[in-house]
Amino acid sequence: MRTPISYFLIVSGMLFAIGTVGVLVRKNALVIFMAVELQLNAVNLSLVAFSRMHNNLNGQVMAFFSMVVAAAEVVVGLAIIVTIYRRRQSASVDDANVLRG
């Protein structure tokens, strides 16, 4: 018996909600970053689930794409965060507000 699609979607939705709250409430850039990763993986999960439901591989391929992009993003993002930390001795996103209009 196949696990119903709704199970996967509920887990995915929960993960996404956790990630979203993490992005919104945490100050530390690294934690926010991890929360973003959580969101991405939540979406990956639902992609794979849909892929299984429709019996084709498009969704899984898409998931691979987003993993690759996420990896690239991590590289750039971490580099930026580390640079900011070196400059300001803080990883709090609220301190990095030089773009305020």
Partner 1 sequence: MFDLAWLIPALPLAGAVLNLFAGRRLGSRAGWVASALVAASFAVAVAVLIDLVALPGEERRHAVRLFEWIAAGAFRVEATILLDPLSMTMTLVVTGVGALIHVYAVGYLENDPRVGLFFSYFNLFVFFMLMLVLADNYLVLYLGWEGVGLCSYLLIGFWHDRPVAASAAKKAFVTTRIGDAAMMLGLVLIFVHLGTLDFETVLGPEAGALSNGAATAIALLLLAGAVGKSAQLPLHVWLPDAMEGPTPVSALIHAATMVTAGVYLIVRSHPLFEASDIALTVVLVVGLLSAIYAALASIGQFDVKRALAYSTMSQIGFMFFAAGMGFYAGAMLLLVAHAFYKALLFLTSGNVMHGLHDETDLRAMGGLRSEMPVSTAWFGIGALALAGVPPLAGFFAKDHIVNFASQSGRATAWVLASIAAFISAVYISRPLFLVFFGRRRTEARAHEAPWRMHAPLAVLAAGAVTSGLVLGLQAEGGLLERFLEPVTGAAHGTGTGPSEAVLIAVSIVIAVAGVAVAWWIWGSERVDWQSFPERQPELAGWLSNAFYLNALYSWLVRAPGLGFGRGLRVVDDRVVDGAANELGVAVTRSSRLAPILQSGLVRSYALAFLLGAVVLLLFMGLRF
Which residues contact partner 1 by CB under 8 A? 20, 23-25, 27, 32, 93-94, 96-101
Closest CA to 19 of 2, 37, 4, 3: 37
Smallest gap from residue 37 Cβ to partner 1 (A):
15
Pick the closer one to partner 1 by CB: 52 or 77.
77
Pick the closer one to partner 1 by CB: 20 or 60.
20
Contact between 40 and 23 under an 8 Å Cβ cutoff? The reply is: no
Smallest gap from residue 38 Cβ to partner 1 (A):
14
Based on C-alpha coordinates, what's the Rg of the chain? 17
